[in-house]
Chain A
Amino acid sequence: KQEVTQIPAALSVPEGENLVLNCSFTDSAIYNLQWFRQDPGKGLTSLLLIQSSQREQTSGRLNASLDKSSGRSTLYIAASQPGDSATYLCAVNRGGSNYKLTFGKGTLLTVNP
């Protein structure tokens, strides 16, 4: 059974700092990995999707990497801003015909002005 772990569970940083969020998974036979952002009381917003054949994806100040063999992904946020404060979730898609996601429990990020 696939298990996804996110460390740390919570992170507080000053504005402007570069930071890394970690995601690890137990079964390396994945189809893709997706990073989401969730604001309090809101749904999930897709940030980045990395296919199993890719090493990284970038969108603006965000960069996600994938090392499938070691079962790890990182989300790098450059020059953090207070508006980046949210819970960040990673989810692994095992593929097959139905594309079901297994989620980590998330990292709660607080960026202090």
Chain B
Amino acid sequence: DAGITQSPRHKVTETGTPVTLRCHQTENHRYMYWYRQDPGHGLRLIHYSYGVKDTDKGEVSDGYSVSRSKTEDFLLTLESATSSQTSVYFCATGLAANTGELFFGEGSRLTVL
């Protein structure tokens, strides 16, 4: 398994506050992704990165921004958290060049009150 660490693993915050989730990988994978998982919706892609400083939007990107200043770190920021952003957030990484297989972190549970 790829070494993927998400932090924090649990966070409770209030509406309107900024929140940053961090994904750190030790596998030198080029591709990194942020997904959110919600009951009834499954996993949905928020943003992804195909290299340092190269990012693009997924299907549910509104209210989120990302940054990738080095290969191993991919940050997800909620500029002003809302209750609809209460979710479990998963980071994933992949080599993409060969099999296209993705590997997932343990998730970060965010509650916005």
Residues of A within 8 A of B (CB): 31-32, 34, 36, 41-46, 49, 51, 89, 91, 93, 95, 97-101, 103-106
> For chain B residues 75-102, which have a beta carbon within 8 Å of chain A?
90, 92, 94, 96, 99-102
Q: Report chain B residues within 8 Å CB of A95.
A: 100
Once the chains bind, are A49 and B107 in contact (CB under 8 Å)?
A: no
Once the chains bind, are A105 and B42 in contact (CB under 8 Å)?
A: yes
Knowing A49-B101, A100-B45 are in contact, say whether A105-B40 is a contact too (CB < 8 A). Answer: yes
CA distance A106 to B42 in the complex (A): 8
Q: Report chain A residues within 8 Å CB of B56.
A: 98
Q: Give chain B nearest CB distance to A90 CB in angstroms.
A: 10
Interface size bracket, B side: 20 to 34
Interface flag for B50 (CB, 8 Å): yes
CA distance A32 to B102 in the complex (A): 11
Beyond A44-B92, A97-B50, A105-B41: 19 further Cβ-contacts under 8 Å? A36-B104, A42-B106, A43-B106, A44-B104, A45-B1, A45-B104, A46-B103, A51-B100, A95-B100, A98-B96, A99-B96, A99-B100, A100-B48, A101-B43, A101-B45, A103-B42, A103-B43, A103-B44, A104-B42
Once the chains bind, are A98 and B107 in contact (CB under 8 Å)?
A: no
